[in-house]
Structure 1
Amino acid sequence: MNNANTAHKYISTETTTYACEYHIIWCTKYRRSVLSPEIQERLKVLIFEQQEAYQYVVREVDSMPDHIHLLVSIPPNISVTSVIGKIKGYTAKVLRNEFPTLTRRLPCLWTRSKFVGSVGSVTLEALKQYIENQKGV
């Protein structure tokens, strides 16, 4: 995976400090292997370009011929699925315009589905123990 912005785990805004990171995976329609190396590189550039506009920070991104892995930090006041929808919509539009073979091979570039997993450095059990121990403080 390509490392990006990995130096800062916590992000601070005027009112919030957060570490809301997500592992996101989505596939091409029918899981077709249509993402050539050239298309994969352009896809990565497009994802990085939209960070500010869509309010996410790319931690890592990698792609295969039929799917994409994205590790991003998204503010807690923004819906993860809305960010994914914007990324998928934007990248599909640009890639289909720049690479007409994608339009001929598929009715749409991406599936409607996706995988989202929250990423943390602490286990659920450790967090439960920490919360329980706060009662005595």
Structure 2
Amino acid sequence: MLREKCERMEVKILDLSVQPDHIHLFVSAPPRYAPSQLINAFKGYTSRYLKEEYPHLKKLTGNESLWTDTYYVGTAGTVSAETIRHYIEECQD
């Protein structure tokens, strides 16, 4: 789902790690997108898709939603892309 959404938005996934309780996503995005726009697009798209695919998820409300309102965004300005990829790969173990 994330790959599909990124392709539509012309965002390139550089690395992705899915954990039981969070996701590490390293992307290269056009400057027209603020980080908050990207996060909202990813969360909104995956939430809608999963709720359509699994109707019982539509009953989730409040604290039971698929995604929390929180997220962390960092930039690769001070570290190399390779360092970030390595960090994401290490989190998969």
Fold-level match, TM-score > 0.5? yes
TM-score by length of 1: 0.49
- Match for residue 118 of structure 1 among 68, 75, 79: 75
More strand by share: 1
How far is the alpha carbon of 1:101 from its aligned partner?
4.1
Structure 1 unaligned regions, length at least 5: 1-45, 123-137
Aligned pairs (5 A) from 1:55-94: 55-94=10-49
Give 3-state SS (helix, strand or coil) of 1:58's partner: strand
Structure 2 unaligned regions, length at least 5: 82-93
More helix by share: 2
CA–CA distance in structure 2, aligned partners of residues 61 and 102 of structure 1: 24
TM-score by length of 2: 0.69
Q: Report if aligned partners of 1:62, 1:69 keep a CA contact under 8 Å in 2.
A: yes
Residue of structure 1 in register with 2:50 after alignment: 95
How many residues align? The count is 76
CA–CA distance in structure 2, aligned partners of residues 75 and 93 of structure 1: 24
Runs of 4+ in 1 over 4 A off after TM superposition: none
Distance 1:80 1:55, change over 3 A: farther
How far is the alpha carbon of 1:110 from its aligned partner?
0.6
Give 3-state SS (helix, strand or coil) of 1:113's partner: coil
The structure with more radius of gyration: 1
